[in-house]
A and B are shown apart, each in its own frame.
Chain A
Amino acid sequence: MSILDFFRNNKKDTAAVAKERLQIIVAHERNQRNQPDYLPKLQQELLEVIRKYVDVNQDQVEVALDNAGNCSVLELNITLPDR
């Protein structure tokens, strides 16, 4: 091993970068996978109801389902436009 190699090894190795990136994306995708199939449709229908009264668009309505033990919380976050 040359002296150059010694310094090169001090850099973060690429396999560690790969592992870190994979852990993040896999956790994210597993979380989405556990969401019930009706969630996108629920979001769409809620949006339609809200639109009857307020002018909002798709990205101003967030629907998320959190599982905490044996209790699920449906979280609804609507950003109303400025008057």
Chain B
Amino acid sequence: MAKIIVVTSGKGGVGKTTSSAAISSGLALRGHKTAVIDFDIGLRNLDIVMNCERRVVYDFVNVINGDATLRQALIKDKRVDNLYILPASQTRDKDALSMDGVERVLKELADDGFEYIICDSPAGIEHGAFMALYFADTAIVVANPEVSSVRDSDRILGILQSKSRRAENGERVEEYLLLTRYNPERAAKGEMLAVEDVEEILATKLLGVIPESETVLKASNQGIPVIHDDQSTAGQAYSDAVARLLGEEVEQRFIHAEQKGLFKRLFGRTA
């Protein structure tokens, strides 16, 4: 049976699409047949982050409306086998995602043998975000260590616990926190909310901490999900998060400030 995972946050710009691209790639790299769907109707971006923007012919709304088959719309990733992208439509009709239509597409993917379906949610709590989370079995709430993001994450957790299909059936969506753009040095100095603080406020299981890293922008510049860069801390952190998502016990890394030696302390700033 396919597992439906929503990547959501409430607030925009915290790294939902970056995380969706990395996590779906990570699952496929481990051999799982994975589809990743862009729910941001009107503001399609997953395609450009995953470097398939010039291969989009049909989109999610075309499939829902019956203008194209799912097979025609799915774009096969060029880097990893087993990974397929369903791009968002650029229509301005925000109600184009009907609940029946979304359910049909998810079911067809499941029947097609997909093991994981990643739903990349738009920002906000409007229709698109609601459709992305409604059918989810698992939710990855992406947050930055910053007040507005944490507050919005709590709102989204509330919606998952009351408005999702699982909630309506008296079940729970499995919720995880993914803290991105984390800077352990600033947290150690008391300039940034520490991972423990965010965990405590949101009372949600930690999937991983992605350290702030230059490689994240470099990766999206080139359309290569950052998880492919196994030399970078962000890439390694996403790999760990994928392992935890698959039920493996992996110790948290990148959450504590590096102990700097005298040499680094003196010359570290210029490095």
Contact = CB atoms under 8 A, between A and B. Distances in A.
Most buried by B among A9, A23, A26, A29: A26
| Interface of A (DSSP majority class) | helix
Interface in B178-233: 187, 189-194, 197, 200-202
Nearest to A1: B265
B190 A14 contact: yes
Given A15-B197, A30-B158, A33-B158, A22 B190 contact: no
A33 to B, nearest CB: 5
B190 A30 contact: no
Contacts of B155: 29
A52 interface: no
A74 interface: no
Interface string B111-140: 000000000000000000000000000000
A20 to B, nearest CB: 10
Contact of B191 (A13, A25, A29, A30): A13
| Interface of B (DSSP majority class) | helix
Given A22-B201, A30-B158, A15 B151 contact: no
A16 B114 CA distance: 44
A19 B197 contact: yes
Contacts of A13: 189-191
Contacts of A19: 193, 197, 200-201
A21 B268 CA distance: 34
Given A21-B147, A33-B158, A33-B162, A26 B190 contact: no
B174 interface: no
A26 B201 contact: yes
Nearest to B162: A33
B154 A29 contact: yes
Nearest to B161: A33
Given A22-B201, A23-B201, A33-B162, A15 B154 contact: no
A29 B152 CA distance: 11
A18 interface: yes
B49 interface: no
A82 B146 CA distance: 47
B75 interface: no
Nearest to B194: A15
A38 B151 CA distance: 25
A16 B191 CA distance: 9
Contact of B154 (A9, A14, A18, A30): A30
B97 interface: no
A16 B197 CA distance: 9
B154 A16 contact: no
Given A15-B192, A15-B194, 12 more contacts: A13-B191, A15-B187, A15-B191, A15-B193, A16-B190, A18-B147, A22-B147, A22-B151, A25-B151, A26-B154, A30-B158, A33-B158
Interface of A: 9, 13-16, 18-19, 21-23, 25-26, 29-30, 33
18 contacts: A13-B190, A13-B191, A15-B187, A15-B190, A18-B147, A18-B193, A19-B193, A19-B200, A22-B201, A23-B201, A26-B150, A26-B151, A26-B202, A29-B154, A29-B158, A30-B154, A30-B158, A33-B162
